[in-house]
């Protein structure tokens, strides 16, 4: 069977394709929630697939049918046959029984929908749009301007073959979303604060210097204990913030391991700290890119939830050091 050559993607098509992927990611997240909340994922999975199918018909010039399963027939007529018909028929019946017959999906139904939908997108995105599903550009969906600009620069660096810079820019984009909140003291006062930010852990000698009454000669022991507590609290606070934002902690750990640290000196010199032998692959870049996008979207969702409805205006985010540096570096 011959598959037609995909038409060139327009900006509008790319944005809608990114939205379809966002719907799919939301459905996956929903499917992992405890019962009964996981059951709503069936509706989201179906919406994501239907959004993709509508866009696919428009992209190749096929007739948009009234019935969900007729999309496979119409797409075949124009030389772009779709895969995954059996799995999507199963999803459609499950959704219909849930929405119109009041029959909630079982755990097995949800797991099948998650697997079938993933296969549908992975197989049909190249067929219809000529690109891998993982390569769908969701950068324009990032609501935070600074993070969006850093991710765009990261993508440009990747295209030029400078992967070290690309990964460093992704780390800065994440910091702009995640750590940048503490610049406004949001973490110290909001419902998601988990206390004030611990910017650095004092050493044992600093703790010991304040323990002036050392009649029992135990200041050193107490100082070591306090330092150990501080070293435990700091990463624990970061882990809690990651979880509060709804991010996958294992993915966060992987992102930190894959991306180099970026620091700035007092004179605004920028330093990228990569370990010896650092050699990230294209797959590593793709994973980190998608993680930053999801983090930005989750952060935006959290901020919206934490904003009082009677608030007169949104708090403005102060630009980070990274934003200031890149602005200076781009000036003639």
Give me the DSSP letters along 178-189: HGGGGGGTHHHH
Structural domain includes residue 154: yes
Range of the domain at 299: 144-192+245-330
Q: How many domains would you assign to the chain?
A: 3
Give the pLDDT of residue 105: 97
Distance between CA atoms of 74 and 134, rounded to whole angstroms?
A: 26
ω into 214 cis (within 30 of 0): no
Average pLDDT for 284-305: 85
Q: Quick check: 202 and 221 in contact, CB under 8 A? A: no
Statement: residue 299 has pLDDT above 90? no
Residues 32 and 97 in one domain: yes
Q: What is the mean pLDDT of the chain?
A: 83
Structural domain includes residue 5: no
| 233 band by pLDDT with thresholds 50, 70 and 90 | confident
Structural domain includes residue 6: no
| 17 band by pLDDT with thresholds 50, 70 and 90 | very high
Give the pLDDT of residue 188: 41
Average pLDDT for 259-286: 90
Statement: residue 286 has pLDDT above 60? yes
Statement: residue 147 has pLDDT above 80? yes
Look at 141 and 154; give whichever has higher pLDDT: 154
């Amino acid at each position: 069977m011959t598959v037609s050559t995909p038409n060139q993607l327009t900006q509008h098509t790319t944005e809608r394709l990114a939205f379809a992927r966002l719907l799919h990611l939301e459905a996956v997240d929903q499917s992992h929630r405890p019962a009964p909340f996981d059951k709503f994922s069936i509706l989201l999975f179906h919406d994501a697939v239907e959004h993709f199918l509508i866009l696919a018909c428009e992209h190749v010039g096929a007739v948009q049918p009234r019935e969900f399963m007729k999309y496979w027939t119409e797409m075949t007529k124009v030389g772009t046959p779709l895969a995954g018909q059996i799995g999507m028929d199963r999803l459609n019946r499950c959704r219909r029984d849930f929405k119109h017959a009041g029959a909630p999906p079982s755990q097995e139904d949800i797991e099948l929908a998650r697997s079938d939908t993933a296969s549908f997108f992975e197989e049909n995105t190249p067929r219809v749009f000529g690109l891998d599903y993982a390569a769908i550009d969701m950068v324009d969906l990032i609501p935070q301007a600074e993070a969006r600009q850093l991710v765009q620069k990261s993508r440009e660096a990747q295209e030029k073959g400078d992967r070290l810079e690309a990964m460093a820019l992704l780390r800065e984009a994440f910091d702009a979303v995640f750590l940048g909140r503490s610049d406004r003291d949001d973490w110290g006062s909001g419902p998601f604060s988990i206390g004030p930010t611990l910017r650095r852990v004092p050493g044992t000698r600093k703790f010991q210097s304040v323990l002036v009454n050392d009649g029992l000669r135990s200041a050193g022991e107490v100082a070591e204990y306090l330092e150990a507590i501080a070293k435990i609290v700091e990463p624990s606070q970061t882990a809690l913030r990651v979880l509060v934002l709804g991010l996958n902690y294992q993915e966060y750990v992987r992102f930190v391991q894959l991306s180099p640290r970026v620091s700035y000196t007092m004179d605004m010199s920028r330093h990228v700290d990569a370990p010896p032998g650092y050699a990230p692959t294209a797959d590593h870049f793709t994973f980190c890119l998608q993680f930053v996008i999801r983090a930005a979207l989750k952060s935006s969702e959290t901020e919206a939830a934490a904003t009082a409805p009677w608030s007169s205006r949104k708090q403005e985010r102060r630009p980070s050091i990274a934003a200031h540096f890149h602005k200076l570096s781009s000036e003639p």
